[in-house]
A and B are shown apart, each in its own frame.
Chain A
Amino acid sequence: MSAPLSVRDGKNLAPWLRAQVASLPRTLRFAEGASADLTVIEGQGAWTSEALDRVNGGARRILVVDPEADEPSEIQRLADVAQQADARLILSEGFAGNPAIAGFCENLDGNYDNILLRGWADTDNRSRLLTQIRIARALGIQLSILENVIFSTNALLAEARGIFGGSLAFVSFGSTRTQACAARYSLTAHSPTRIASLVLFDATNARPGEASFVTAEGSRSLPTIYESAHRRQLRLLASDDESGSSVEELRGFAEDVALTRAAGN
């Protein structure tokens, strides 16, 4: 067994995040100082500039947990610097990074005409919209522009046309700020004969996403995955698998932030 990789400044992480690191004792251990193998940054505030500092300071494996919107140009710059430094930087998103998404996408069957994205979370309108756009991207939905965007104090609705499964689909966004229930986002995709649905929960714990498919033969649910998005991404960053640490992912994030910001008031 190889020695665990060290995670820098564990004491500064949120308790729930420290617990996730601690759940991987054969893979990770906490360490002090800049020489650690992994750096975990929480994605609030000016996380881009912090990540940039860490890359410039020599960090080569960085996990950004729940990245919020930051200046798209700064995110692009971070992507450039990470690429030049050959640094692996993973955006660990609580909803768009849910491990259920991969299985859901693998089981999609054909084209879908109408996609409904809905969200319930105690975050502001643009944060929820960004989360939904990120989920759409994770599902392979290519969006270009949002139409009929309408905000109220605590809710938003928007529409888009997106390429999904190779064909053009109507995409409807809707979400509301609420403390009534656990934060969750859902997607329902409809074809004339099939329905695919996915419900994603907050990744501060490991409540599994719910993926199901309705066809003429019946309804089928995918097996549950009791691993949070963040734990999955921590394992990925600690591994030699570089599939999730593309600068393209950062560039995509910058595009999605820009799309969110372009949505009218």
Chain B
Amino acid sequence: MGKSQDGGQGQLGVGIVGAGVVVQGIHAPILQGLTDEFTVKAIWDSDPRRAEDLAAHLSTRTAGSFEDLLADPTVDVMLICSPAPFHAPQAIASMRAGKRAVLVEKPLCTTAEEADAIAQTCAETGARLLVGSMHLFDPAWREVQRLLAENPFEISSVRSNIVLPPNSRFEAWSFERTNETQPAHVPLDDRHMMRLWLLELAIHDLPLIRRLLPPNALPRVISARLLSPNGYAVIAKAGDILIDLVAMMHDHWQPEWVLEAMGPRDQLEIAFTPSFVPAGSGRSRIIRKGSWVGSEPAFANGYFAEWQALGQAARDDDYRFANEEFVDDFRFALSIAEQACALLNGGNAK
């Protein structure tokens, strides 16, 4: 495995794959706030101009190719923010190139076979894998996990309710695009749209839902439909637990992002902030007979915490996640997405 220039105890060198909106708006600002731990060594994007713009902004270099990035010995950890179909080959290549840890934006990959290959590569190389599931790292969820470990409760239903204005509403308040290039709009049929919704939006909460269910529970999707004008409604059942996934994105200003788990005597509720905005962590509540415990929003959000976790992973320093957890998260989400798409019956459920 590669060593960082300072022997592994100081800054970790970061190689970035992709220089799009997520890197510009989320990861680059976070990394600038964590310069004691990380330094960006090089950026590669299939669009060289976009890579150059971001590299200039971060005072770093562009890599001539993905292979050039892999070959850079100063790169200890990789951030992979390319389009999802490239995640698996790039993550695997990064691990095989000896990078200590790889942070892959969600979704981890696109197929079960790719997930298996990533898991196998993790095992063979010993590299650490993280997925950018920021809610999993959000202090509000971490507090809920701590409280549930102390006082678990029987769960009857789980609900993910996501109501969002368009991302463009938040972007301008959180960052200036270094490059205004917009991806071409490709019309999708209903099945592809549902898959996209579940693997790119619901996937923020699906890892948390998986952890609220009994171990190895695989939900059976009962109903799936696209909502007008933009959104989805999915009903699933896992054992005796009902799962309600609803999201809507439309032209208003008020976001609401709530994950709820209800039991006969307890209620768990986490209210998250929208993506992109550096508005701190979510707020958590566990309510029992009218009294609650939980957490108020903290300064650090899930993005910040996931980079801290990446640092711990790369240094093997009090790191709490197993690679397999992230692979299982993807398998869980993929199962739901594939069942939901199959229920759309050729795309006429809208």
Contacts and interface: CB of A to CB of B under 8 A. Distances in A.
A178 interface: yes
Interface stretch (A21-29, A134-142, A169-177): A169-177
Contacts of A159: 223, 225, 233, 235
B251 A157 contact: no
Nearest to A212: B254
Contact of B242 (A156, A214, A219): A156
Contacts of B222: 148, 150, 157
A178 B288 CA distance: 10
Chain B interface helix/strand/loop/mixed: strand
A190 B267 CA distance: 25
B320 interface: no
Interface string B215-240: 00000001101011101010101001
B92 interface: no
Contacts of B229: 113, 192
A172 B223 CA distance: 11
Interface stretch (A30-38, A76-84, A179-187, A202-210): A179-187
B254 A214 contact: yes
Contact of A114 (B156, B228, B253): B228
Contact of A170 (B227, B235, B241, B287): B227
Interface in B228-270: 228-229, 231, 233, 235, 237, 240-242, 244, 246, 248, 250-254, 262-267
B185 interface: no
Given A178-B262, A182-B290, A154 B156 contact: yes
A195 interface: yes
A195 B288 CA distance: 30
B156 A178 contact: yes
Interface string B146-186: 00000000001101010100000000000000000000000
Chain A interface helix/strand/loop/mixed: strand
Contacts of A180: 262-263, 265-267, 287-290
B251 A172 contact: no
A176 to B, nearest CB: 4
A116 B160 CA distance: 13
Nearest to B233: A172
A120 to B, nearest CB: 7
Contact of A179 (B223, B237, B246, B265): B265
B253 A216 contact: yes
Interface in A109-161: 113-114, 116, 118, 120, 147-148, 150, 152-157, 159
Interface string A30-65: 000000000000000000000000000000000000
Nearest to A215: B252
B220 to A, nearest CB: 10
A176 B242 CA distance: 9
B223 A192 contact: no
B266 A195 contact: no
Given A177-B156, A179-B265, A180-B267, 9 more contacts: A120-B262, A120-B267, A154-B156, A154-B157, A154-B240, A159-B225, A190-B250, A192-B250, A194-B252
